[in-house]
Amino acid sequence: MLAADESQAIRGYAVDACDFAVKPLDYEGFKSKLAHALWRCNNTLDDVISVRTADGTVKMRVPSVCYVEVIRHELIFHTTRGTVLSRGTMKSVEQTLKGFGFARANHCYLVNLKWVDKIIKDIVQVRGVALKISRGKKAELENAFARFVEAQSAI
């Protein structure tokens, strides 16, 4: 016969639990468990997109995309592993990446806020690359970046 704790642990595996909280739970313990759960949610296979290239289709992890650039209907995915070229529109990519922490810098650039180093005047620096921010997108980008940084610091 299993003890109550062992029984709960076995049920936890059945539902893919990422951790257990034992009462009373202090703030630091809760914060740590929540951070782990959020990390796990952010690192699932749901963060994978497929990108059509001239040679076929490439599977790409969303967190590895630093920014997307468009030049005459050619999309350039700048990733942590290099670039991937595809045909399409920025609007369709923006829709695909909606909810993953991306924001428009201008009509040519969609940046992953995770990789933004800083925003100074009309420049957003993404992994050391300076990208121009349009006047119309500046406030929106700054607000999105501030919310992103605030959310990350809460973890």
- Best-predicted range by mean pLDDT (4-8, 126-130, 148-152): 126-130
69 and 99 share a domain? Answer: yes
* Mean pLDDT of the 43-69 span: 88
38 and 98 share a domain? Answer: no
Q: Which residues contact 69 (CB under 8 A, 6 or more apart)?
A: 75, 76, 78, 108, 109
34 and 17 share a domain? Answer: yes
105 and 140 share a domain? Answer: yes
pLDDT at 123: 98
86 and 150 share a domain? Answer: yes
pLDDT at 137: 96
Say yes or no to pLDDT of 43 above 70: no
Q: What does the pLDDT look like over 75-125, one tens digit per residue?
A: 999 999 999 999 999 999 999 999 899 999 999 999 999 999 999 999 999
Of residues 100, 81, 111, 96, the one with CA closest to residue 41: 100
Which residue in this structure is represented by tokens 């700048």?
Answer: 78
- 142: domain range? 48-154
Mean residue pLDDT across the chain: 85
pLDDT at 44: 56
Query: For the domain that residue 91 is a member of, what is the CATH number?
Result: 2.40.50.1020
130 and 62 share a domain? Answer: yes
What pTM value is reported for the model?
Answer: 0.71
Q: How many other C-beta atoms lie within 10 A of the C-beta of residue 147?
A: 13
* Mean pLDDT of the 25-35 span: 79
pLDDT > 90: percent of the chain? 62
76 and 111 share a domain? Answer: yes
Helix (H, G, I), strand (E, B) or coil at 22: coil
